[in-house]
Amino acid sequence: MKKPAVFILLIGGLLSALTLHAHTINYALQNAPTTDVIGYYFKLGFEHIIPSGADHILFIAGLCLLSTHIKSIIWQATAFTVAHSVTLALSMKNVIVAPPAVVEPVIALSIMFIAVENMLAKKLSRWRIAIVFLFGLVHGLGFASSLNETGLPPDKFFTSIIAFNAGVEIGQVAVIAAMFTLIINRLKNRNWYKQKVVYGLSALITLIAFYWTIERVFSM
């Protein structure tokens, strides 16, 4: 079976196991001004990436390593953004919701897959974009699980979702900007870039993600 088909089946199996439940209501912000709601959820979304989202940071960092072209990085980030935005909204609307015990290990596996592919693939393929999109669907469920702990004000549902997602996106852009300006753009022309930077960082990400996978499987 080809690699993309394996991960399509994996994500399909995850989505088929989804359960329904109502999201938490944030009564503290139920009657708050819209500007306060936007500021609160934007900050919450940003902090979910920086500094609290180590797994999402490593996933985004992994996306930046296979190609040194900013356009390729943006394509991957866009696929990831569209996917997690869809499942975040659908999950908070109770259309699709998955338990953390399923979602969190798959998120760790997605990080490990991207890092391993960085070491094995010679260039960015069209399947990479599709696989990043599929993994983005799972990460969106992870975002929703975290957001559900705080809850949403019922009369400002879409405002809260959009603000949270905007915060997440700014956090991701910050990670991409740091990777590109501090590492890729400065070191890409060195003859040891592939061996020391791409392989080295990808190997480190793989080990961390493997540890997270084992930890999440046996602790949830």
**CA atoms of 179 and 201, how far apart (whole Å):** 11
pLDDT category, 23, cuts 50, 70, 90? low
pLDDT for position 28: 78
Question: Is 43 among the domain residues?
Answer: yes
pLDDT for position 157: 86
Question: Is 20 among the domain residues?
Answer: no
Buried b (16+ CB within 10 A) or exposed e, 49-79: bbeebebbbbbbbbbbbbbbeeebbebbbeb
Report the domain count for the chain.
1
pLDDT for position 170: 96
> Residue 54 above 90 pLDDT?
yes
10 Å Cβ neighbour count for 191?
A: 7
- φ, ψ of residue 147 to 5 degrees: the values are -65, -35
Average pLDDT over residues 73-97: 90
Question: Is 19 among the domain residues?
Answer: no
pLDDT category, 220, cuts 50, 70, 90? low
pLDDT for position 215: 96
> Residue 24 above 80 pLDDT?
no
**CA atoms of 187 and 166, how far apart (whole Å):** 30
**CA atoms of 187 and 180, how far apart (whole Å):** 10
**pTM (2 d.p.):** 0.86
pLDDT category, 200, cuts 50, 70, 90? very high
Indicate the SS3 state at residue 25. strand
Question: Is 181 among the domain residues?
Answer: yes
pLDDT category, 4, cuts 50, 70, 90? low
Which residues are CB-contacts of 45 (< 8 A; sequence separation ≥ 6)? Answer: 163, 164, 165, 166, 167, 168, 169, 170, 171
Per-residue pLDDT tens digits for 119-166: 999 888 888 999 999 999 999 999 998 888 888 888 888 899 999 999
- State the residue range of the domain holding 177: 35-219
Question: Is 22 among the domain residues?
Answer: no
